[in-house]
């Protein structure tokens, strides 16, 4: 899991996150880190720091240097956290991490122009469709087609807005919504395309309403990305299984399982690294799963992958649920 030549050192912090000692290995971690909070020292935004109360590490990445931080909680005899051991490693992508940041920076500069060029023709075509819809009799089968086209144009406009939000880091309004409904919308949206590529989608959704709080369009973005990844892993066709289930008492699990080519252990360790991709040059930026991970964190959830060569991949997302009373209260506001 850890390659010794990439390890820069180990940092020890107390339960408040204040660094107490620095052990240098192959790198040059400065002793001046002592006394600072570990997330400040490595440029980790404090709002992203949610160290899990379990013995497996929580992984972070320095915004400035790209260094990988594996944060292990330390426990006393009573099982209470009394500090942290932090393994610091070099960026798994080296210079490509900096290059990916430059790409995102460039995207931020051109995104407004792209959105403008997309939205102008969208508004023009959508306006004419609205006129056609108003002039069409209810019994005319074209009326349903017009409604579908208008809905899709609205979706494209929302995606264009999401592009701007991503580059500007603009917060979107949040609300409660049903996870199953988002799954069904995505399957409807891209199911026909996948069917033409000999890919079958099988859904097994829990019968009960599973309500979460957040931005449903952002979660939809995650679903679409995962299904596109599954499609790319099955060039000769295959099956995508999508399951939703209650998880423990207060969470929901959404799983995407494909019958594709799978990944090695080494690839699994890097899939959430910015700019890392298993796809051929020009067919993937490596930003997809990195963005998915960030979105799931917005929901205070977790995302994990399990895969084996020639045995497919399983992606598991766990999100905190809202009670039905919280949902009704949110809808009434």
User: How large is the average pLDDT for residues 50-75?
Assistant: 72
Where in the sequence is the domain holding 187, given as residue range(s)? 175-332
- Give exposure, 113-149, as e/b (b: 16+ Cβ within 10 Å): eebeebeeeeeeebeebeeebeebeeeeeebeebeee
> Is the same domain home to 82 and 127?
no
pLDDT of 44 reads: 84
Q: Per-residue pLDDT tens for 131-181?
A: 999 999 988 989 988 888 888 888 787 767 766 655 555 556 788 999 999
Residue 181: give its domain's CATH number. 3.30.565.10
pLDDT of 285 reads: 43
Q: Who wins on pLDDT, 93 or 310?
A: 310
Confidence of residue 53 (pLDDT cuts 50, 70, 90): very low
Rounded CA gap, 260 and 236, in Å?
9
Confidence of residue 78 (pLDDT cuts 50, 70, 90): confident
Residue 50: give its domain's CATH number. 3.30.450.20
> Is the same domain home to 31 and 82?
yes
Q: Look at the chain and report how many structural domains it folds into.
A: 3
Q: 188 near 182, Cβ under 8 Å?
A: no
> Is the same domain home to 71 and 122?
no
Q: Per-residue pLDDT tens for 23-38?
A: 765 556 788 888 999 8
User: How large is the average pLDDT for residues 253-258?
Assistant: 96
> Is the same domain home to 145 and 191?
no
Rounded CA gap, 54 and 84, in Å?
12
> DSSP 3-state assignment of 199?
strand
Q: Who wins on pLDDT, 275 or 288?
A: 288
pLDDT of 331 reads: 54
User: How large is the average pLDDT for residues 111-115?
Assistant: 70
**What is this structure's pTM?**
0.54
Q: Look over the chain and give the mean of its residue pLDDT values, rounded to a whole number.
A: 79
DSSP-assigned letters across all residues of 60-75: EE-TTT--EEEEEEEE
**Residue 282 pLDDT greater than 50, yes or no:** no
Helix (H) or strand (E) holding 91: none
> Is the same domain home to 156 and 185?
no
> Is the same domain home to 216 and 308?
yes
> Is the same domain home to 287 and 214?
yes
Q: Who wins on pLDDT, 183 or 278?
A: 183
CA angle 113, 114, 115 (to 5 degrees): 90
Q: Of the candidates 258, 246, 265, which has an alpha carbon nearest to the alpha carbon of residue 314?
A: 258
């Amino acid at each position: 899991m850890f390659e010794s030549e990439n390890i820069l050192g180990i940092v020890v912090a107390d339960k408040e996150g204040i660094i107490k000692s620095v052990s240098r290995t192959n790198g040059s971690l400065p002793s001046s880190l002592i006394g600072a909070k570990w997330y400040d020292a490595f440029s980790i935004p404090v709002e992203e720091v949610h160290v899990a109360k379990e013995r497996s590490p929580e992984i972070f990445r320095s915004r400035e240097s790209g260094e990988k931080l594996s944060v292990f909680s330390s426990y006393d005899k009573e099982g209470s956290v009394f500090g942290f051991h932090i393994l610091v490693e070099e960026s798994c992508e080296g210079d490509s991490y900096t290059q990916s940041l430059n790409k995102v920076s460039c995207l931020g500069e051109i995104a407004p122009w792209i959105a403008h060029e997309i939205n102008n023709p969208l508004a023009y075509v959508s306006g004419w469709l609205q006129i056609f819809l108003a002039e069409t009799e209810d019994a005319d089968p074209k009326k349903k087609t017009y409604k579908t086209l208008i809905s899709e144009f609205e979706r494209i406009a929302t995606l264009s807005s999401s592009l701007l939000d991503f580059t500007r880091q603009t917060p979107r309004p949040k609300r409660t919504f049903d996870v199953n409904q988002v799954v069904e919308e995505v399957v409807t949206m891209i199911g026909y395309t996948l069917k033409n590529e000999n890919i079958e989608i099988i859904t097994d959704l829990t019968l009960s309403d599973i309500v979460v709080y957040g931005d449903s369009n952002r979660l939809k973005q995650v679903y679409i990305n995962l299904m596109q990844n599954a499609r790319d892993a099955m060039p000769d066709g295959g099956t995508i299984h999508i399951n939703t289930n209650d998880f423990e008492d207060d969470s929901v699990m959404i799983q995407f399982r494909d019958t594709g080519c799978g990944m090695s252990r080494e690839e699994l360790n890097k899939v959430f690294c910015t700019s890392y991709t298993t796809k051929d040059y020009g067919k993937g930026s490596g930003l997809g799963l990195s963005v998915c991970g960030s979105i799931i964190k917005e929901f205070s959830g977790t995302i994990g992958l399990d895969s084996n060569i020639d045995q497919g991949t399983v992606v598991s997302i766990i999100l905190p649920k809202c009670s039905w009373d919280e949902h009704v209260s949110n809808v009434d506001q």
